[in-house]
Structure 1
Amino acid sequence: MRIFLSFPSELESQADNIAQSLRNCDHDVFFSHDDLPPGDSFDARVEKAIESSDFMVFLISPASVTKGRYTLSELAFARAKWPNPSNRVLPVMMAPTSLDQVPAYLRAVTILEPQGSAAAETRAAVDRMLAAERAQSRGRSSWPFVVLALFSVVGSFITVRYATGVLQYSFVDSTPTGGITILPGVIFGLVIATCNFIFGVKDRFQLALVVAVTAAAWIAAYDASSVTLQSLGQYSKAVATAAADAGTADTTATPAEVRDTLGNNPFMGYVIGSVGGAVGGAITILGVLLTNPGFRRLDSVVVNWIAAIAAGAVYGAIVKFPDWLAWLVLFGVWQTTFILAMARGFPRGAAEIPEWLGRITTPALFGQRAAR
């Protein structure tokens, strides 16, 4: 979990102890301005740091709630991200402070008043709130994500089936007919960007980046499969013509010959599809990792990469069947698994599904500091 620790300079020593205690539990803590990412202005960096965080610990003292202190600006950034502070913001009373001075936003949740070690009790409180958030996440509806997955699968299938020549591109084939339409990658990227938006990513550049990376992943996956297919096809023909004159034998595999080779050797289809799935899946996952810190969990990454390889392998195995069936299986397995894994992959930083998205889907289906 990424935690932003807000405190006045007068509490630096106590804040340092709390930060260390949280880090001992593998939390990523923004403790001071040195922890903030580079940027144009300090205000923008603080706002982005809070935007990328999953949680805030706010240390209350007369100094931290005094008008004009930067801690109140940090609290305003947090309020913009989490209108409801429940399970998002933990106020900790570090020094006697009149409740009349404490902002109403903090009074809306239980204020922790340590009786012993502030560091230990803050860590324990964060763990309890995290457990509550996980329980809440398990009860969160997945139907909006099912709808997004369905839209992605159907949209990708239609475009690759009926718009193959639209915006065709390849990283390795420069011929006019080389490559494949980028539309399925763009559609899938838009859906992934929507999932990122649901889970708190509001930066337009990051949302655009994940669309671009996903589109590139789709092209790279297709190119990797094509290159592997041609290489194996040429190898098979070279073996078949080994008895012929080596100087005159034609070892260039035609598309029909390659297809026949795959039909006679399904194992090659598994290899070709797996290579494409591994390449495309890795790049897609990288795009999400770059744009949403909440996805940086080993289990989410592994599940999605395995799903990509498996979907590619299945596609390669059934390539001898009608193209439409192979594409439908590919998109249905890979995209649906990825989107639903995203839905369950952000339990630590997941925001509630926006009300507008819930209204559209569910009823339709089922009735660190500056000078502080």
Structure 2
Amino acid sequence: MRIFLSFPSELESQADSIAQSLRNCDHDVFFSHDDLPPGDSFDARVEKAIESSDFMVFLISPESVTRGRYTLSELAFARNKWPNPSNRVLPVMMAPTPLEQVPTYLKAVTILEPQGSAAAETRAAVDRMLEAKSEQSRDRSILPFAVLSLASAVLCSLVATYALNVLQYSFVVSDAGGITILPGVIFGAAIAACNVMFGARDRFQLALVVAITTAAWIAAYDASAVTLQALGQYARTVPIEGNAANPAQITETLGNNPYMGFLIGGIGGAVGGAITILGVLLTNPAFRRIDSVVVTWIAAIAAGTVYGAIVRLPTLLGWLVLFGVWQTAFVLAMVRGFPRGAAQIPEWLGRSAPALFGSRAAR
């Protein structure tokens, strides 16, 4: 994070304290005109520095708002870049200054008036504003990931419906046989794409997340099949209507109990979800928020449980429910679990973290 710090020379010592406080929070503060890159005119270099920034801290004093001071030129550059200063410019009242002398652009936002340490209060205010901006950006950025997960869900549903016998595999021997690996591959590719958006570039790790997600899909199916077989071992004979000479009977198993669908689907979702989450954790260390890990696992269990409850619906509709709920919930929870300000995400997704920058020019 880089911050453009604008201040008059009279406030150099106070500005230095503020810059150091911001740097202690891992912000990259442009503080002196000596840091300007060489080439072009001085004005052009300052304007480029502001243009490459996403945030400005402007220190207000009678000197900084005096006509002819270079701080007002910096403010003009900022106004050209951000017509709306909200969550972009933080004015800090460093010395008593009549409000009528303060530019209207600065008065359009709340002016920070430190009551104690200007450095500490400025740092806290910057962090609050960046957090608010990051949350707004995150909310706007959800749509591309939702579209990606829904597209994956539709493809997986079509494959599970019409290509169920293609590339079948099972980790266990079961009466149900194997399951096509294609839904796992498709969803794995979607998760790998999300990892790329959040900075993952290692091809082996991206291939690994696809492989683990595919294994998770197979394991989820196997867990459900094994559970169904286990429940089928618990049977009872139930008499039905017939004549006295030849009474009729049927055999019921727990596996045929409609309520067991919840259990069977829930177990499959729990197994598949746990392995998929493990794959993300192994391949992208940035995913470390425990709340998002829990949410994604619960989403997996819920999706499997819902599918187990409606499994008697038409096949395509059942798969759409399973994949639509599980994959969308997983991807969105995973996105929430990555750190704010993931700067390596492409800007066209609206998720590039602010490249904060700052400057002190000739004042």
Asked if the contact 1:185–1:219 (Cα under 8 Å) also holds between the matched residues in 2, the reply is yes
Q: How far did residue 149 of structure 1 move? A: 1.5
Q: Which sections of structure 2, spanning at least 5 residues, go unmatched?
A: 1-20, 40-44, 58-93, 95-115, 239-250, 351-363
The verdict on how the C-alpha distance between 1:160 and 1:350 changes in structure 2, with shifts beyond 3 A counting, is: same
Query: Which residue of the partner structure matches residue 344 of structure 1?
Result: 336
> Residues 72-112 of structure 1: CA distance to partner in whole angstroms, max 9, x if unpaired?
xxxxxxxxxxxxxxx9x722589x89324799898844799
Query: Which residue of the partner structure matches residue 73 of structure 1?
Result: none
**2:27 aligns to what SS in structure 1?**
strand
Matched, 1:333 2:325: yes
Query: Which residue of the partner structure matches residue 163 of structure 1?
Result: 163
In 1, the alpha carbon distance for the partners of 2:161 and 2:288 equals: 34
Query: Which residue of the partner structure matches residue 301 of structure 2?
Result: 309
Q: How far did residue 142 of structure 1 move? A: 2.4
Query: Which residue of the partner structure matches residue 11 of structure 1?
Result: none
Q: How far did residue 240 of structure 1 move? A: 3.8
Query: Which residue of the partner structure matches residue 134 of structure 1?
Result: 134
Asked if the contact 1:295–1:345 (Cα under 8 Å) also holds between the matched residues in 2, the reply is yes
Asked if the contact 1:294–1:348 (Cα under 8 Å) also holds between the matched residues in 2, the reply is no
Query: Which residue of the partner structure matches residue 280 of structure 2?
Result: 288
Name the count of aligned residue pairs. Answer: 255
> Residues 256-308 of structure 1: CA distance to partner in whole angstroms, max 9, x if unpaired?
x88x7545x22211111110000000111111112223321122111111111
The verdict on how the C-alpha distance between 1:172 and 1:139 changes in structure 2, with shifts beyond 3 A counting, is: closer
TM-score (ref. length: structure 1)? 0.57
In 1, the alpha carbon distance for the partners of 2:340 and 2:151 equals: 26
In 2, the alpha carbon distance for the partners of 1:106 and 1:189 equals: 41
The verdict on how the C-alpha distance between 1:170 and 1:106 changes in structure 2, with shifts beyond 3 A counting, is: farther
In 2, the alpha carbon distance for the partners of 1:347 and 1:200 equals: 11
Matched, 1:214 2:213: yes
In 2, the alpha carbon distance for the partners of 1:357 and 1:120 equals: 34
In 2, the alpha carbon distance for the partners of 1:111 and 1:91 equals: 12
In 1, the alpha carbon distance for the partners of 2:191 and 2:268 equals: 20
Matched, 1:99 2:91: no
Query: Which residue of the partner structure matches residue 229 of structure 1?
Result: 228
Letter matched to residue 321 of structure 2: V
Amino-acid identity (%): 64
Asked if the contact 1:58–1:92 (Cα under 8 Å) also holds between the matched residues in 2, the reply is yes
Asked if the contact 1:167–1:181 (Cα under 8 Å) also holds between the matched residues in 2, the reply is yes
Give the number of the structure with larger relative contact order, counting CA–CA contacts within 8 Å between residues 6 or more apart: 2
The verdict on how the C-alpha distance between 1:327 and 1:289 changes in structure 2, with shifts beyond 3 A counting, is: same
Q: How does 1:188-199 map to 2 (within 5 A)?
A: 188-199=187-198
Query: Which residue of the partner structure matches residue 314 of structure 2?
Result: 322
**2:34 aligns to what SS in structure 1?**
coil
In 1, the alpha carbon distance for the partners of 2:288 and 2:147 equals: 24
Q: How does 1:62-211 map to 2 (within 5 A)?
A: 90-91=27-28, 98-100=34-36, 108-109=52-53, 124=124, 127-128=127-128, 131-173=131-173, 178-211=177-210
In 2, the alpha carbon distance for the partners of 1:165 and 1:328 equals: 18
In 2, the alpha carbon distance for the partners of 1:150 and 1:167 equals: 23
In 2, the alpha carbon distance for the partners of 1:102 and 1:172 equals: 66
The verdict on how the C-alpha distance between 1:150 and 1:111 changes in structure 2, with shifts beyond 3 A counting, is: closer
> Residues 121-154 of structure 1: CA distance to partner in whole angstroms, max 9, x if unpaired?
8974884475145334344232212221121111
Bigger-Rg structure (1/2) = 2
> Residues 316-356 of structure 1: CA distance to partner in whole angstroms, max 9, x if unpaired?
11223333332221111101111222333335243476356
Q: Which sections of structure 1, spanning at least 5 residues, go unmatched?
A: 1-21, 23-56, 60-86, 242-256, 359-372
In 2, the alpha carbon distance for the partners of 1:174 and 1:267 equals: 22
Asked if the contact 2:263–2:308 (Cα under 8 Å) also holds between the matched residues in 1, the reply is yes
The verdict on how the C-alpha distance between 1:174 and 1:275 changes in structure 2, with shifts beyond 3 A counting, is: closer
Query: Which residue of the partner structure matches residue 7 of structure 1?
Result: none
**2:161 aligns to what SS in structure 1?**
helix
In 2, the alpha carbon distance for the partners of 1:286 and 1:126 equals: 35
**1:293 aligns to what SS in structure 2?**
coil
The verdict on how the C-alpha distance between 1:162 and 1:291 changes in structure 2, with shifts beyond 3 A counting, is: same
> Residues 153-203 of structure 1: CA distance to partner in whole angstroms, max 9, x if unpaired?
11101111111121111111289x821000000000000111111122122
